[in-house]
Amino acid sequence: MEKINVEKIIRPHLVNVKTYDAMEAPETLAKKSGIPESEIVKLNGNENPYGGSQKALKAVANTPLHIYPDPNQTNMRMALSEYTGMSPENIVVGSGADELIDLIFRLFISEGDKILDCEPTFGMYSFCSRIAGGEINLVQRDDNFDIDINSVVDAIDEVTKVIFVTSPNNPTGNIATESQVSDLLATGLLVVVDEAYYEFSGQTVQHLVSQNENLVVLRTMSKWAGLAGLRVGYGIMHEKLAKYFMDVKPPYNVNIAAEAALIASLKDVNYLLGNVEKIVAERGRMFEFLNDLPKVKAWPSHGNYLMCEFKENEAERVYVELAAKGIFVRNFNSPRLRDCFRIAIGTPSDTDKLITAMKAIV
């Protein structure tokens, strides 16, 4: 029998697709660096250093695993309705905000359609576009990494379908103002405002949803609620649009442990927001320290991370030396961020370790 060549039958644009540049797991970092996993300071994933709520852990332990989750997400949507103040019909839950981003492509992007991305930003939108066969127009942010609304609007052409706005922006920390979002909504295209770090900024455009069928606000339980490993996020949108999301999502998309953890976390909001407060305070301490170092600039951030800029060709050296000490941050290979890396805010003890290491290296 003739040998089958899978490249001949796979969708042609996926044969050499550029994949997502994902973070390595702690055990991989430990193996590569030769440093025991327990000694690693993992500041490369914007994860919550305090973990999830004890109530979530207990709920997961007591969840029967042999029953499929509720395809209508009734209890999760109710709990999120109470938390956000929006109606359950305005909410759709996904296996992480990542899944909702993917669903946006299923709903809006056919091959050849275009998205606008405000660069530098989170890599998931471009990744999903590449998979969907979409075109990507990377509209550059201005010198302060704020969105340049005129450039975004000028970039719209007849095949543009979706504009992605991350607020706070990952990795630069900037907020998109309500008036900027309103200007983009007026274009009539789908506008996705990714508020994955909302709890660290306190700023949202969710109130614009009722008047704008073309707005999707994305949130996640990964960051403020410490549930990144369970994969659960949600979107807030007009009920008409939410119905389409519910129709195209995989029926049992959010697993039952994630469902239990989400509901339990929303019964422990004060505790979780207490951790958010600690992280925000630590962000302030780290910001001061980094900006006191010679030839280092930390950009102001509304998220649980700081982007740190070095003089030319220094970032890579500092990154490598930090890694050698077991401290892992997130570096970038785009030309604009070549001299930068992003540091997630950890516990005070993580900050102390980072400070000691940075003083020695820089």
Ligand X SMILES: Cc1ncc(COP(=O)(O)O)c(C=O)c1O
Residues that bind ligand X (CB under 6 A): 46, 96-98, 122, 166, 170, 194, 196, 220, 222, 228, 233
For ligand X, the closer CB: 53 or 220: 220
Whole-number minimum distance, CB 225 to ligand X, in Å?
10
For ligand X, the closer CB: 160 or 167: 167
Cα 119 from Cα 320, distance rounded (Å): 25
Q: Which residue has the tokens 């306190």?
A: 202
Q: Which residue has the tokens 């009734």?
A: 74
Whole-number minimum distance, CB 220 to ligand X, in Å?
3
Whole-number minimum distance, CB 11 to ligand X, in Å?
24
For ligand X, the closer CB: 195 or 350: 195
Strands 114-119 and 296-299, by their bridges, are unpaired
Whole-number minimum distance, CB 3 to ligand X, in Å?
39
**Dihedral of CA 104/22/193/48: which sign?**
positive
Closest residue to ligand X in the complex (CB)? 96
Query: Which residues, including other chains, have CB under 8 Å from residue 10's CB and lie 6 or more apart?
Result: none
Cα 101 from Cα 126, distance rounded (Å): 10
Cα 264 from Cα 89, distance rounded (Å): 21
For ligand X, the closer CB: 180 or 222: 222
Whole-number minimum distance, CB 9 to ligand X, in Å?
30
For ligand X, the closer CB: 222 or 331: 222
Cα 348 from Cα 56, distance rounded (Å): 24
Could you tell me what percentage of the chain is helix, strand and coil, using 3-state DSSP and rounding each to the nearest 5?
45, 15, 40
